[in-house]
Amino acid sequence: MGKQKKTRKYATMKRMLSLRDERLKEKDRLKPKKKEKKDPSALKEREVPQHPSCLFFQYNTQLGPPYYILVDTNFINFSIKAKLDLVQSMMDCLYAKCIPCITDCVMAEIEKLGQKYRVALRIAKDPRFERLPCSHKGTYADDCLVQRVTQHKCYIVATVDRDLKRRIRKIPGVPIMYISNHRYNIERMPDDYGAPRL
């Protein structure tokens, strides 16, 4: 019989002593962590987010014409597929002046999509669109839109993304614009927003 082949063990390490091992000298040993006992009579502090002053229950008092609409990347792409003019279709949906807003993150996302989506990029660079600068790191548009809408509740969010819709529904007083049956529709918009105020 031949010699039995031994398989080599890769990434094997020598066994190391734990820093709490009793064989180590007292000075080299890691001291055990002492748990601080909480005083039961002390008051517990909780951080509760402040309720926005612009909301009257679920009614958002900051929304009114002209409407500022935050546009997501896929909303522009689906509008092109459905052959809809963004500004005109928004005005047909809301019966008021609409100002589409594009954040730097959304612009960066459209630019990353490349040559195939050059029409979307040309639409996004339209002078009727308002550009909003972003101060955070990274170019993930969903987080940027959710964060902006949480801080300032004067926007309507235009998106077709299911996950983003789900996240925005959790924020009270923010309507969502979406595309269905080759036209724009609005979700969670009370009837008396467009009515003139007395």
**Is residue 139 in some structural domain?**
yes
Q: Return contacts of 132-141, CB within 8 angstroms, 24+ apart.
A: 132/70, 132/101, 132/102, 132/103, 132/104, 133/103, 133/104, 134/103, 134/104, 134/105, 138/105, 139/104, 139/105, 139/108, 139/109, 139/112, 140/105, 141/72, 141/73, 141/103, 141/105, 141/106, 141/108, 141/109
pLDDT at site 198: 43
pLDDT at site 1: 59
Overall number of domains in the chain? 1
Domain that holds residue 77: 66-187
**Is residue 154 in some structural domain?**
yes
Please state, as a whole number, how many other Cβ atoms lie within 10 Å of the Cβ of residue 166: 9
pLDDT at site 191: 58
Share of the chain above pLDDT 70, in %: 91
Q: Out of 49-63, 86-100, 127-141, give the one with best mean pLDDT.
A: 86-100
Reported confidence tier of residue 76, pLDDT bands at 50, 70, 90: very high
**Is residue 31 in some structural domain?**
no
Reported confidence tier of residue 197, pLDDT bands at 50, 70, 90: very low
**Is residue 58 in some structural domain?**
no
pLDDT per residue over 155-188, tens digit each?
999 999 999 999 999 988 899 999 999 999 998 7
pLDDT per residue over 7-60, tens digit each?
766 667 677 777 778 887 777 777 777 777 777 777 777 777 777 878 877 788
**Is residue 89 in some structural domain?**
yes
pLDDT at site 190: 62
**Is residue 10 in some structural domain?**
no
**Is residue 21 in some structural domain?**
no
Mean per-residue pLDDT for 79-107?
Answer: 94
**Is residue 44 in some structural domain?**
no
Share of the chain above pLDDT 90, in %: 53
What is the distance between the alpha carbons of residues 172 and 72, in angstroms, rounded to a whole number? 19
What is the distance between the alpha carbons of residues 26 and 21, in angstroms, rounded to a whole number? 10
